[in-house]
Structure 1
Amino acid sequence: MKARFAAALAALMFSAISIVPAAAQTTRETDENGRPVATEGSSRSGAGRSRRDRQPAAPSPEQILAAAQEQATLGNTNCQVTEAKLLGTTAEKTSVYEMACAAGPGYIIESKTPPVVTDCVILADSATKLRAANPEAEVGPQCTIAANTDTEKFLREYAQQAGVPCTVDEVKVLGRATDGGIAYEVGCSDAAGFWIKNLNNAWSKTPCIQVLAENGTCAFTTTAENAGYVKTLFAGSEAASCDVTEARLMGRNANGVFYEAKCAGADGVIARLNAENAVQQVYPCATAQAIGGGCKLTTAPAAAAAPAGGRP
């Protein structure tokens, strides 16, 4: 089984965008009373130049909302913008917007071609990791619109959208997979967890027992929870009598997927399941040495000692 999950993840760390705040883009010289003053060399021609060089008026909230919606659409975000802020401009004269969406997390978008889009959940996670490594780290602009700040709520919504069938108690960002999808780990309060991935707005989920088999890790799932997951797969089958205390996913072939289970007070088993996760065949560990290298969780019985005086 290929280690496609653990090896595929890259940390989601974003370089900080250097922006000039929108409120700081126009300046005027004033006297001590705050009144405009003429600068050296002022004249009617100088005044003309001043009028020509004057910064355009700041965009209205309606214009900012429309511009943010345009960038969200160009960025293929599926975001219906409900609130937006112009954060400022960059040295490349691009504009940077924060926007909240009618559904899901908001974004910070830089108006490049194509737009550079980062959702608020990823930005918050990146900032947390950077500051953990260096409390003085420059983390760049962060989402501050009230609707964007509850990133834990969005993470739990991701688990629901991915079809995770449990009561979710923990979710964290893992990183970017080689196919471009973003992966997250989900922990459950009453069952084994999952890795979930969003690729092109489509969700997939992978049980933690499979993640472990593919050399990944699940920080939110215990050995007992993985055992419980396999016990539910065994329900109603020949393997149902096994009180599973530990389990592992061994691999799969054209005949199905193979799990080993350690059973409390009994010999362990290897079970073959079909694509619908129905048990098709059960092999006792005592006779399963030829199945994927045999059982690893159940200790094989020691060979009987030879009788005194050698073989009969």
Structure 2
Amino acid sequence: MLGVSAEQVKIYEAACAEGPGYILVASTPPQVVDCVILDSQAQAARAANPEAPATSPTCTLPGNQDIQGFLKAYATQAGVPCTVDQVKVRGQSGDGAVIYEVGCSGVDGYWIEKNASGWKKTECLQLVSQSNTCEFTTPTEQAATVKSWLAGTDAASCDVQQVRLMGQNANGRFIEMTCAGADGAIIRQNAEHAVQQVYPCATAQQIGGGCKLTTTPPAATPQA
């Protein structure tokens, strides 16, 4: 038992054989909060006011201290295909699921969340296009990810500098990219990230309004 609350309700901490443990408050009804969430709340409170005293119980058992280990395990369970370097609690979705941000070493990161049907992961490239932010992912890492999709395509030689997710339709997903020392392009890829087509910016005016990152004059119309 950790102690009692101000209302004289007993508070317990439990450690689990796998995954994070919990704080249990023997109130009516009982309250249960996992140690990852409590750690996130404590960090947010300290960031807001480093001098403020702790107002919530904290997990102290040795088995509950590896918060980053627990979070990285979530990323593995969610199928994040990268070397994870940072993870944090981001917030909650509209249906109350906890959202975690995952940072990847050298490539695009993700938001992940677990709901009744299992884990869901969303690329930061998509999130940024929807006016969200990813604290652990840089534009350079996103460019590196797009570059990795270009092998074996007409755009394989592009030294990708900037990328922009334009949107998607029934034909696939469209991404604009700029290339160092060369004209930019738009790629169309399928759900498995395979590039289906490359549209040079000079001839891509009809693809989602054309290129915005690259200023390229329209291709000249051949004279009759």
TM-score, with structure 2 as normaliser: 0.88
Cα shift readout 1:144-200 (whole Å, capped 9, x = no counterpart): 111112212212212222222222111111111112111111112232221111224
Report whether the alignment pairs 1:154 with 2:70: yes
Partner of 1:19: none
Report whether the alignment pairs 1:107 with 2:35: no
Partner of 2:31: 116
The structure whose RCO (Cα within 8 Å, separation 6+) is larger is 1
Residues 203 and 219 of structure 2 are in contact (CA less than 8 Å); yes or no, is this contact kept in structure 1? no
Query: Shift of the alpha carbon at 1:114?
Result: 5.2
What secondary structure is seen at the aligned counterpart in 1 of 2:183?
Answer: coil
Partner of 2:48: 133
Q: Following superposition of structure 1 onto structure 2, how do residues 43-122 of structure 1 map, counting pairs within 5 Å?
A: 85=1, 87-88=3-4, 91=7, 95-112=10-27, 115-122=30-37
Partner of 1:205: 121
1: distance between equivalents of 2:26 and 2:36? 20
2: distance between equivalents of 1:288 and 1:114? 60
What secondary structure is seen at the aligned counterpart in 1 of 2:215?
Answer: coil
What secondary structure is seen at the aligned counterpart in 1 of 2:133?
Answer: coil
**Structure 2 unmatched runs, 5+:** none
Cα 1:89–1:130, aligned 2, differ >3 Å: closer, same or farther? closer
2: distance between equivalents of 1:175 and 1:154? 17
Task: Mark the structure with the bigger radius of gyration.
Answer: 1
Q: Aligned AA for 1:98?
A: E
How many residues are matched? 219
Query: Shift of the alpha carbon at 1:94?
Result: 5.1
Q: Following superposition of structure 1 onto structure 2, how do residues 1-312 of structure 1 map, counting pairs within 5 Å?
A: 85=1, 87-88=3-4, 91=7, 95-112=10-27, 115-134=30-49, 135-200=51-116, 202-301=118-217
**Structure 1 unmatched runs, 5+:** 1-84, 305-312
What secondary structure is seen at the aligned counterpart in 1 of 2:149?
Answer: helix
Residues 203 and 218 of structure 2 are in contact (CA less than 8 Å); yes or no, is this contact kept in structure 1? no
What secondary structure is seen at the aligned counterpart in 1 of 2:69?
Answer: helix
TM-score, with structure 1 as normaliser: 0.65
What secondary structure is seen at the aligned counterpart in 1 of 2:32?
Answer: strand
Across the aligned residues of Structure 1 and Structure 2, the Cα RMSD in angstroms comes to: 2.3
Partner of 1:26: none
Residues 109 and 115 of structure 1 are in contact (CA less than 8 Å); yes or no, is this contact kept in structure 2? yes
Residues 262 and 269 of structure 1 are in contact (CA less than 8 Å); yes or no, is this contact kept in structure 2? yes
2: distance between equivalents of 1:293 and 1:110? 56
